[in-house]
């Protein structure tokens, strides 16, 4: 049996007039206290033991998962939904979306610093999943939210027939910085998790490039979508050189060439990101 939390009409109205209202949200800087409360909760260390162990109930998709009472998860989702509403309504400024996207980045970085990679949990063959701990689940959710916000914007644009909104770039930039953060060290998540994070970002870029090169028109607008991703990945990579070149290049080498958007555009992306040869080239 599954259970679903239902909002009342009054609660729905309150949400729509506040956290789904970009004008109110940014005027009040409503995400800031959520960010501070979440990061202080993590940095206090009280979650370290429980959130670094396997917990199927935290990530459960049926029933009432324990994350529904987690202040970190609730803060992350509230900020992500507000950011999604800003993009959907094409409201706010690039500074507004930068602040919101950077709030997610701050939670991501704080969670990552407290997450501990233990092979017995992360690599257990009978399977706790790709993100077996609550900290791992939170990291995956932030990356997933960046992806879906960008993907929703892409579909809203008519698959690139309209120019990307200026307010999208900060979101792609912070997504790329989250991915590159894993080049810092290997103590926080599994290798598979790290590689899947960069794979998703690279594949999204290659899909935009494929649409651009196969378009029967609107080449300029579709090229602009491709460049939003390329430029912001390059920007994020510069913060972690030279390790980021090897990190990105190694994943690029292992991408599935059976997919046309990968086989046709992989070498183009290697050149755009200035990766020299297999595995990124840089020692």
Q: What is the DSSP string of 148-207?
A: HHHHHHHHHTTTTTSPPPGGGHHHHHHHHHHHHHTTS-SSSS-HHHHHHHHHHHHHHHHH
In this predicted model, what pLDDT tens digit does every residue of 199-227 receive, in sequence order? Answer: 999 999 999 999 999 988 788 999 999 99
Identify the three-state secondary structure at position 269: helix
The residue assigned the tokens 């120019």 is 163
Q: Where are the alpha helices (DSSP H) in the chain?
A: 9-17, 22-28, 31-43, 48-51, 71-88, 94-114, 119-122, 134-156, 169-181, 191-214, 219-237, 243-253, 260-263, 266-272
pLDDT tens for the 283 residues of the chain, in order: 444 567 788 888 888 888 778 888 888 888 999 999 999 999 999 999 999 999 888 988 777 888 989 999 999 999 999 999 999 998 889 999 999 999 999 999 999 999 999 998 998 755 556 788 999 999 999 999 999 999 999 999 999 999 999 999 999 999 999 999 988 778 999 999 999 999 999 999 999 999 999 988 788 999 999 999 999 999 999 988 888 999 999 999 999 999 999 999 999 999 999 997 544 433 2
Residue 54: Cβ within 10 Å count:
17
Do 174 and 201 touch, CB atoms closer than 8 A?
no
This prediction has a pTM of 0.91
Using a 10 angstrom Cβ sphere, with 0-12 exposed, 13-18 middle and 19 or more buried, the burial of residue 118 is: middle
pLDDT tens profile 268-283: 999 999 997 544 433 2
Instruction: Enter the tokens of residue 129.
Output: 């999943």
Distance CA 186, CA 158 (A): 39
User: Where does residue 15 rank: exposed (0-12), middle (13-18), buried (19+ CB within 10 A)?
Assistant: middle
């Amino acid at each position: 049996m599954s259970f679903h939390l239902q909002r009342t009409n009054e609660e729905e109205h309150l949400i729509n007039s506040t956290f789904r209202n970009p004008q109110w949200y940014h005027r009040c800087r409503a995400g800031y206290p959520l960010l501070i409360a979440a990061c202080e909760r993590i940095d206090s260390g009280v979650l370290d033991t429980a959130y670094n162990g396997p917990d199927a109930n935290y990530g459960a998709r049926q029933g009432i998962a324990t994350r529904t009472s987690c202040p970190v998860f609730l803060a992350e989702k509230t900020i992500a939904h507000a950011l999604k509403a800003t993009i959907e309504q094409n409201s706010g400024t690039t500074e507004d979306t930068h602040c919101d996207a950077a709030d997610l980045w701050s939670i991501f970085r704080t969670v990552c610093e407290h997450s501990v990679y233990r092979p017995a949990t992360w690599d257990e063959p009978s399977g706790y999943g790709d993100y077996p701990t609550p900290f791992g689940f939170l990291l995956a959710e932030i990356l997933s939210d960046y992806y879906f916000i960008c993907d929703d914007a892409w579909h809203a644009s008519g698959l690139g027939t309209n120019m990307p909104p200026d307010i999208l770039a900060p979101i792609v930039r912070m997504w790329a910085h989250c991915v590159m953060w894993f080049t810092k060290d290997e103590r926080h998540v599994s290798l598979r998790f790290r590689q899947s994070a960069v794979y998703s970002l690279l594949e999204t870029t290659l899909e935009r490039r494929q649409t651009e090169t196969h378009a029967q028109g609107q080449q300029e607008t579709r090229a602009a979508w491709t460049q939003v991703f390329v430029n912001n990945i390059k920007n994020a990579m510069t913060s972690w050189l030279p390790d980021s070149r090897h990190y990105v290049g190694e994943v690029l080498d292992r991408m599935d060439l059976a997919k046309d958007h990968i086989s046709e555009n992989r070498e183009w992306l290697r050149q755009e990101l200035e990766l020299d040869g297999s595995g990124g080239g840089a020692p």
